[in-house]
Structure 1
């Protein structure tokens, strides 16, 4: 029995396992849709009741799946504290915590239901490739994040010295200047904080050029890692 259950919920090569995977994926997507519908104002009480029934049905199915995955796992504690184990638990936890409690006081817990969409990673081969790519390129990604944080700090320091006297209300400290550094390096540029001095504008030009490179670098790292992951599987 244990091997049959393991074949259905973990092996994607059989008909029964594919049906199970499609069923769970469909429930996840419908659950996310109903979560969005619940935010609509002035919903009819009957509609809310139907959504509640469907939510209960989803939680029951996800709970059974979670229990079965623990049952077939050879190292149960390792699965429980693994990425997928934690996601499976977070997908059902808000429902059980909120039982018998006014949801208005635990409204933040409802957002934990969005973790269900991460369950799709388990069933999506493309996402598995992405996960493998992230793992293989983790050193390059960490190095990129470190360099980005350093550049962000230097950008905040630079713009502070250029603009502090001209705009003390926006660049009163390096910490306040960090907001400008973030939106400039990421090339977002909301326009709420911008330099007015000649030195500050020239400095901003160079920071924008660096920002364009910062946006492009992780794309190259991940795409290269994805290519290696696909080639390795082939």
Structure 2
């Protein structure tokens, strides 16, 4: 019986497992839609009743699914504290916490229901490829992040020396200059802080060029790792 249940709740190639996965996906989407509809003001009481019934049904199904996954898991504690286990728990926890809690606090709990959308990750094979790609390229990504932090610091130092005398209110210290460095290197450019000296403008030009590379590099790293992950999967098949 345990193996039979595991073949259903875990993603397998059998028909029953696929039907179960599709059912859960649809129910997740339905519950998210009902959550969104509940925020509409002046809903009719009948409509709110229908939405509540759908909510209760969704929570019951998700609770049963969560308990079944614990039941079929070989290492139950590992599953409970795993990423997917925590997401599954957070998807149903707000509903149960709502009983006996001051109604004013419910608004703070309701946002946790958005974790239901993360349950879709479990049923998305493409997301598994992405996760594998991130793991395989983690060293390159960490190196890139370390270099980026260094570049942000040097950019802050550079703009501080160029603009401190002209704009002491915006570039009073290197710490204040870090905000400009971050928004410039990430090519966001809010425009709230910008250079006015010739040297500062030229320096900004080069920083922007570097920033374009900073945006492109992680995309290339992840794309390459993702391609390898997909190719390896096809080779295994």
Q: 1:4: which partner in 2?
A: 4
Greater mean deviation of Cα atoms: 85-94 or 71-80: 85-94
SS in 1 for 2:196: coil
Post-superposition Cα deviations, 1:77-130, rounded to whole Å, max 9, x if no partner, equal 111111111111111112212222234324232222111111111111111111
| TM-score normalised per structure 1 | 0.94
Show CA shifts across 1:34-60 (max 9, x none). 222222233333323322222221111
Deviation at 1:20, TM superposition (A): 0.4
Q: Which piece of structure 1 moves more, 100-109 or 17-26?
A: 100-109
Structure 1 residues 207, 99: CA separation in 2 closer, same or farther (over 3 Å shift)? same
RMSD of aligned residue pairs (Cα, Å):
1.5
Aligned residue number for residue 205 of structure 2: 205
2:113 maps to 113
With over 3 angstroms needed to count, the CA separation of the structure-2 counterparts of 1:37 and 1:168, relative to structure 1, is farther
C-alpha separation between the residues in 1 aligned to 2:53 and 2:102? 17
Distance 1:9 1:129 in 2: 20
Q: C-alpha offsets along residues 175-195 of structure 1, whole Å, 9 cap, x if unaligned?
A: 322221121111111112111
C-alpha separation between the residues in 2 aligned to 1:140 and 1:123?
A: 28
Task: State the alpha-carbon separation in 2 of the partners of residues 56 and 167 from structure 1.
Answer: 58
Which residue of 2 is the match for residue 104 of structure 1?
104
CA distance in 2, matches of 1:45, 1:152: 54
Is contact 2:132-2:229 (8 Å) kept? Answer: yes
Which residue of the partner structure matches residue 214 of structure 1?
214
Matched with 1:19 is 19
Q: Which blocks of at least 5 consecutive residues in structure 2 are unaligned?
A: none
Counterpart mapping for 1:158-197 below 5 A: 158-197=158-197
Aligned residues: 234
Equivalent residue, structure 1, for 2:123: 123
